[in-house]
Chains A and B, each alone.
Chain A
Amino acid sequence: MDLDDLIEIGEQEILSRKAYRFRVCAAAGCLSAGGADVRRAIEEAVKASGRAGEVEVSSVGCLRACGEGPLVQIDPSGDLYERVTAAQAPSLVGAIDGRPCEARVGDPSRPFFSRQQSIVLENCGLVEPERIESAIAAGAYQSLFKCLHELTPARVVDEVVASGLRGRGGAGYPTGVKWGMVAKMPKAPKYVVCNADEGDPGAFMDRSVLESDPHRVLEGMAIAGYAVGAQQGYIFVRGEYPLAIRRLDVGIRQAKRLGLLGSQIFESSFDFKIDIRIGAGAFVCGEETALIRSIEGRRGVPRTRPPYPAEMGLWDQPTLINNVETFANVPAILREGADWFAAIGTEHSKGTKVFALAGNVRNTGLVEVPMGTPLREIVETIGGGAPDGRRIKAVQTGGPSGGCIPASLLDTPVDYESLVRLGSIMGSGGMIVMDETTDMVNVAKFFMGFCMDESCGKCVPCRAGTVQLHRLLERINARQADAADLSKLEELCEMVKHASLCGLGQSAPNPVLSTLRYFRQEYEARLEGTTPPGEPTGLDEAAQEATV
């Protein structure tokens, strides 16, 4: 396999395409809305219409407007149909000729689509995730070829450094710097690990990327392997993503068959294998040191850093760990150049960010925008604001590790530093919109309950602290708490934040701290509550009596 062969495969793929093409979304959201039946029905309708010679039906990745699925798009017109049912299939085929269609017509030019800018998702919804030829036709693996035959590993690292790409898993560590560190480690073997253990409630960015365009991630990992000197990669996917796992598995086999993964890739001396490791449902395994232990076959618990995985990772060897979206940016950076990438975004946050927009918002779905886009544009212009004429109250970013940003601060640009200043974090990209009916104490309690159940149990502040924080929040919620309980809550939040061993515990108090910061009155309003009969809580009443 060389570049000509690769291009040849792509050209063949394009040549073999028929005049009309139905792209049926086959990502998890649309599939769960009945997308598979829709696809079958369209295929049958095409056959029945006798136009199978000029019309093809393909399963593609996420078409983004997840809340309106199943989604179908038709080439070459680009017409989009929403909430399609199997019964509408014959009329969809008729729509090719401009006949009126029963299915609801979507508007691909509405702000939800037009205000997005795609890098990571550039082929998402266009390529067929289970056919490598389709990805190759869209340019997959060309950046890998370029690296292997035109660039030294050091040049690849330089390029990533110059692009300004930062880790998309949440913390935002400069990706190129991390690559450089692993590359300079004298020990061998080295490993490349892709963290696809996306576990935040409401987050589906990585899932969508893996389900829609797995080769992009595989290519990014192979480039990373070349840059840092690793021959083995692992992709750690959570077991709850069976479709992503299947598509990765299919993708790896197909890439191996074509010599794009495995030994002597593109007839170079570079060998790179990728194996899948499936998570067993522990949120904490998204923490890199716990993830490493899990890959090693041990109990997934974090350890203290330093040493960082770059120095001592998988089996104590130098290991590069990046998130799915980080790797998915790499092929585009190598293709278009670091300067192109660095021109997008803000001074310190380059490129784009994919968000999974969910909650009380009209347009839920997958969104990719340049860094620095104001939150308001994401939730109001792209997201269409809260449904049913309600007002947005807050936006939650970063999942259980993040915070709630009040509507008054929606003009904040989305970049790593701005969100941290507001007491939240970028996180991996979950974005949950909350309208005025949302109870913020309840939100805090929900996330604390999540962290409590997902704590690994190793360190005391996280294991036992989250339980007590959750109880305090329950008491406040049930109007059984007093002002002393509220200060106990704040004090314990500070301790858990600063004393916990890993990021899970350190960030577990964030939803409480940020709702206290912006919605304190909701907590205080519950402190005056009375005690339900039969359940004396003592402190509040007694305190009043004592002061009489």
Chain B
Amino acid sequence: MAVKTLRIDGRLISAHEDQTVLDVAREAGIPLPTLCHLDGVAAVAACRLCLVEVAGSAKLQPACTTKVAEGMVVQTATDRLKSYRKMIVELLLAEKNHVCSVCVSNGHCELQDLAVNVGVDHVRYDYLHPDCHVDISHERFGIDHNRCVLCTRCVRTCDQVEGAHTWDVAGRGHKAWIISDMAQPWGASESCTSCGKCVQACPTGAIFHKGASVGEMRKDRDLIRFVVTAREKKQWVV
């Protein structure tokens, strides 16, 4: 396997040719915010938080799907990128009803952490306050669309890791939402195996264990990667 050498934020780094810029940045301890990325499932470059500047390319590139190349020069934290990231997180916070104080994931939420990391102290855009519903028809889990960031981590985990493809996306644009089966109540889903991987995959409190109260929903962020690594490499390591 060929090794490539590239420069990220001025640091010279070597990488395997099949690695992405995000993989390499993470290995090197260079912080890059992500939301839709989840180790173990395919990258979709949807949240746009990991966009980086690559010398010679007029367009910003998502680090999660951009493969390393020899001599590549990457900037991960220019002022422009930082301001875009902040706007993206603000847009997410304004889009749905993210009321941290009554959320099961308060204090353990990737969206909350992102807001802190990119420096959001208030949201400059109008809160949209959409009328979203909560589906608690499943006997063990619930999904609260008020807290959903449409990262599709649940969709991909259910499809690619569990193989059930219970989740998918319906509607488009700001009216898009996550559905189980053909938009039936989760509890009525015939494909759901109740494995609970989507709960762990969800970055916010949108998918949760029933019975969790405010701040009680702690998620196992490494579960999906653990399952995939165990399955593919026969290594039971986190």
Contacts and interface: CB of A to CB of B under 8 A. Distances in A.
A and B touch in the complex (CB under 8 A): yes
Contact of A304 (B45, B94, B149, B168): B45
B48 A463 contact: no
B168 A455 contact: no
Interface residues of A, number: 31
Given A454-B172, A467-B128, 5 more contacts: A303-B45, A457-B172, A463-B174, A467-B174, A495-B87
Interface majority SS on A: helix, strand, loop or mixed? Answer: helix
B65 A282 contact: no
Given A464-B95, A499-B51, A455 B172 contact: yes
B84 A495 contact: yes
Contact of B175 (A284, A457, A460, A461): A457
A282 B172 contact: yes
B175 A498 contact: no
Contact of B150 (A454, A463, A499): A463
A466 interface: yes
Contacts of A284: 172
Contacts of A459: 45-48
A456 interface: yes
A455 B91 CA distance: 15
B59 interface: yes
Interface string B56-83: 0001101001000000000000000001
B88 interface: yes
B126 interface: yes
A373 interface: no
Contacts, number: 97
B118 interface: no
Nearest to B95: A464
Interface in A203-217: none
Interface string A405-432: 0000000000000000000000000000
Given A299-B169, A452-B173, A456-B173, A501 B48 contact: yes
A492 interface: yes
A304 B173 contact: no
B230 to A, nearest CB: 27
5 contacts: A456-B172, A460-B47, A468-B91, A468-B94, A499-B48
Given A454-B173, A457-B176, A464 B48 contact: no
A499 B85 CA distance: 9
B62 A460 contact: no
A468 B51 contact: no
Chain B: interface size category: 20 to 34
Contacts of B169: 299, 301, 457
Contact of A464 (B62, B65, B172, B174): B174
B84 A499 contact: yes
A453 interface: yes
B233 interface: no
B81 to A, nearest CB: 9
B172 A460 contact: no
Please indicate which of the listed interface residues A299, A452, A453, A458 has the most CB atoms of chain B within 10 Å of its own CB: A458
B29 interface: no
Contacts of A175: none
B220 to A, nearest CB: 25
B59 to A, nearest CB: 7
Contacts of A456: 172-173, 176
A456 B172 CA distance: 5
A299 B177 CA distance: 13
A488 interface: yes
A452 B174 contact: yes
A303 B128 contact: no
A471 interface: yes
A499 B51 CA distance: 7
Interface in B137-179: 149-150, 152, 168-169, 171-176
A456 B175 CA distance: 9
Contacts of A282: 172
B122 interface: no
Contact of A499 (B44, B88, B128): B88
A460 B51 CA distance: 12
Nearest to A300: B172
A500 interface: yes
B24 interface: no
A468 B125 contact: yes
A465 interface: yes
Contacts of A467: 95, 128, 173-174
Contacts of B150: 457-458, 463
B133 interface: no
Interface string B71-113: 0000000000001100110011011000000000000000000
B234 interface: no
